[in-house]
A = this chain, B = another copy of it.
Amino acid sequence: MKYSWIFILCFLLNLPSNIFSQDIRWYDPSDKIEDQIPIFNFSGQGWNHNALESPFQRLPLSAKKEVRNELWKLSRFSTGITINFSTDASTIYVRYKVEDYIQKPHRAATGLSGIDLYVTNQNHETPFWCKGKFQFGDTIVYTFGHLNSMNVEHVNSDYQLYLPMSCAIDWLEIGIPENATLSGIEKDIKLPIVVYGTSIVQGSAASRPGMAWTSILQRNLDREIINLGFAGNGRMEPEIIKYIADIKASIYVIDCLPNLIGVPNQELAQKMEMAAKMLKKVHPKTPILFVQHPGFPQELVNKSSLEKVKSINDLLEINYLSLRKIYSEGIYLLSKNEIDMCMDCTVEGTHPTDLGMNIYAEAYSRKIREIFDFNQKD
């Protein structure tokens, strides 16, 4: 009788009927188990959980007093963070609650507060996307089913769960059936790519977190990416560069121009010099990639849009050339031409859709592969 009511309740709430039942084991992936390889390892964060206020944040607690309040709020958003684990479960459940959710007319809930799951197993090299049924409410629930139908040996597969791009996570739990096995994945030892930027880096307006360009790039290059994109607040500030210099990286990407249009020339020059100086002081051999503005799609119609972008891009290039003279190696440029954004690549003139995100990711893949190849040859 009790189960019938649960079934009816679930039906009414459009939830899978076993979501409250006893046959799912729920885990808080941020729980620490001493002296063990963690079953859930977090990727995309520059600091250990001990240094953070919450396990789903992107800047350490020490930054709270040092960075602007607006930026601190955005650093609580979980974009670019993935939770990695291995299981033979045929269904994976994720339930979570978010804070500071902001509805925007040009963004869907799946892009603002949705999650994404990809799987890798013995049979394929690149991660495959997993379909999840979702239910948005006070608690958001995703159910990823039919995960084992191609996995005939029922061995564990490696999963990568992408967390929401534009909200803070209050709590999150991962559930698997009682009879499924679960194991940890060794953390990748390759040095991560650190990206400092704007809302575009943060993932707006990708349809889901796996489609932010940093997520696509991470799968393309099989390399951890630490996403320090802050919507409207990617201003190449010393207090952020200081924290970035904390992270031992394979490359530092500085993609802040979309938030610096209108900044006086002298100020941009100072910002770039400061960024290069602070990073090169600690990591003299690590490449720094400065990125031009991708342009606005309306620049075909609106002359002032075209001119604003040309002006700031020209200045970035001049400063990039100066910095190359100061630092004999390791200063790079990704140009607007190399990004080659298409006219129909944004939803509202600023934020790339999945179409634009894919173009961004391709341009970054080419450039970063080139830089890595060049540095390996040395």
> What residues make up the interface of A, taking CB atoms closer than 8 Å to B?
104-111, 114, 119, 124, 128-132, 134, 136, 146-147, 149-150, 205, 207-208, 210-211, 216, 296-298, 300-305, 343-345, 347-349, 353-358
Q: CA separation between A296 and B216, bound complex, in Å?
A: 19
Closest Cβ neighbor of A219 among chain B residues: B344
Asked whether B353 lies within 8 Å of A119 as measured between CB atoms, the reply is: no
Asked whether A301 lies within 8 Å of B128 as measured between CB atoms, the reply is: yes
Q: CA separation between A345 and B357, bound complex, in Å?
A: 12
CB < 8 Å: which of B111, B129, B355 contacts A355?
A: B355
Residues of B within 8 A of A358 (CB): 344, 355
Closest Cβ neighbor of A298 among chain B residues: B131
Residues of B within 8 A of A355 (CB): 211, 353-355, 357-358
Asked whether B105 lies within 8 Å of A136 as measured between CB atoms, the reply is: yes
Known A109-B106, A211-B344, A354-B344; judge A129-B297 contact (CB<8 A): yes
Asked whether B297 lies within 8 Å of A108 as measured between CB atoms, the reply is: no
Residues of B within 8 A of A301 (CB): 119, 128-131, 146-147, 149-150
Closest Cβ neighbor of A356 among chain B residues: B354
**How many Å from the CB of A64 to the closest CB on chain B?**
31
**How many Å from the CB of A20 to the closest CB on chain B?**
21
Asked whether A303 lies within 8 Å of B149 as measured between CB atoms, the reply is: yes
Residues of B within 8 A of A354 (CB): 344-345, 347, 353-356
Residues of B within 8 A of A216 (CB): 344
**How many Å from the CB of A81 to the closest CB on chain B?**
19
Q: CA separation between A192 and B184, bound complex, in Å?
A: 57
Asked whether A106 lies within 8 Å of B207 as measured between CB atoms, the reply is: yes
**How many Å from the CB of A230 to the closest CB on chain B?**
21
Asked whether A110 lies within 8 Å of B114 as measured between CB atoms, the reply is: no
